């Protein structure tokens, strides 16, 4: 158990200290949300209608931004090979790395969501729903992203390709996340079904993400 805890702490500290830390993701999130009104106009009614979607897309882009370094930094300094050869389950290692990455970059995004919701004119209920869906759904984004990160780990400048590979995988998460947030704001009865689907996708990502990412890391280590 202690190796899992120390791996988590190591990953968390690295993610927090390298490249501007957790705040850089939140800053990017803020920038994306800010740029939307310049594109669609300062119409508060329109913005509040698409606000949940803006926040979700902002969170998706901010998650994608940091993913290319998830395994790459470890590969470059050799610690990835140590982790592969450590005899521990590589799937579990990947899962811990994802958890630390999410705690360092995903969780700050969720915490920033209520504040950023004010910029797109969401009411109190919508703010709660968007934050809740992101809290449940953002781990799924990190987990499917880990598959892309594992696959592109040996590539210099694999970030763009990673995004192209991961965005199709993120489509269902986005659909159920946004529809839970927007449908729930109109009628709370419509909230539960998409929200449960979102939970299912996250659980599904918990299984498929580490399995596929670990397989990809083993290939690149050969």
Binding site for another protein (CB under 8 A): 144, 147-148, 150-152, 154-155, 158, 161, 164-165, 167-169, 171-172, 175-176, 179, 197, 201, 208, 212, 215-216, 219-220, 222
In three-state form (DSSP H/G/I as H, E/B as E, the rest C), the secondary structure along the chain is: CHHHHHHHHHHHHHHHHHHHCHHHHHHHHHHHHHHHHHHHCCCHHHHHHHHHHHHHHHHHHHHHHHHCHHHHHHHHHCHHHHHHHCCCCHHHHHHHHHHHHHHHHHHHHHHHHHHHHHHCCCCHHHHHHHHHHHHHHHHHHHHHHHHHHHHCCCCCCCHHHHHHHHHHHHHHHHHHHHHHHHHHHHCHHHCHHHHHHHHHHHHHHHHHHHHHHHHHHHHHHC
Beta-carbon count within 10 A of 48 CB = 16
Least Å distance, CB 49 to another protein, is 16
Our CB check for another protein shows the closer of 138 and 198 to be 198
Residue with smaller CB distance to another protein, 119 or 197: 197
Cβ nearer to another protein, comparing 117 with 179: 179
Closest CB 161 distance from another protein, rounded Å: 6
How many whole angstroms from its chain centre is CA 119? 22
Q: Tell the smallest beta-carbon distance from residue 194 to another protein (Å).
A: 8
Closest distance of CB 53 from another protein, Å: 12
CB of 106 to another protein, least distance (A): 20
Q: Pick the closer one to another protein by CB: 119 or 204.
A: 204
Tell me the closest approach of the beta carbon of residue 150 to another protein, in angstroms.
Answer: 8
The smaller minimum CB distance to another protein, of residues 54 and 144, is found at 144
Smaller CB distance to another protein: residue 25 or 210? 210
């Amino acid at each position: 158990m202690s190796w899992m805890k120390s791996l988590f702490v190591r990953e968390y500290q690295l993610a927090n200290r390298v490249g501007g830390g957790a705040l850089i993701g939140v800053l990017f999130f803020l920038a994306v949300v800010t740029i939307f009104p310049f594109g669609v106009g300062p119409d508060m009614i329109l913005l509040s209608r698409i606000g949940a979607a803006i926040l979700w897309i902002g969170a998706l882009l901010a998650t994608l931004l940091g993913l290319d370094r998830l395994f790459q930094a470890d590969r470059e300094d050799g610690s990835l090979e140590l982790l592969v050869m450590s005899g521990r389950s590589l799937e579990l290692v990947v899962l811990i790395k994802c958890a630390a990455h999410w705690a360092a970059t995903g969780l700050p995004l969720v915490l920033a969501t209520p504040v950023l919701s004010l910029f797109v004119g969401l009411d109190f209920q919508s703010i709660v729903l968007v934050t809740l869906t992101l809290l449940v759904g953002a781990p799924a984004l990190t987990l499917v992203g880990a598959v892309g990160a594992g696959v592109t780990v040996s590539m210099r400048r694999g970030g763009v390709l990673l995004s192209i590979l991961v965005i199709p995988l993120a489509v269902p998460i986005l659909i159920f996340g946004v529809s839970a947030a927007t449908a729930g704001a109109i009628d709370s009865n419509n909230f539960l079904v998409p929200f449960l689907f979102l939970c299912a996708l996250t659980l599904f990502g918990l299984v498929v993400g580490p399995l596929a990412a670990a397989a990809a890391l083993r290939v690149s280590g050969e």
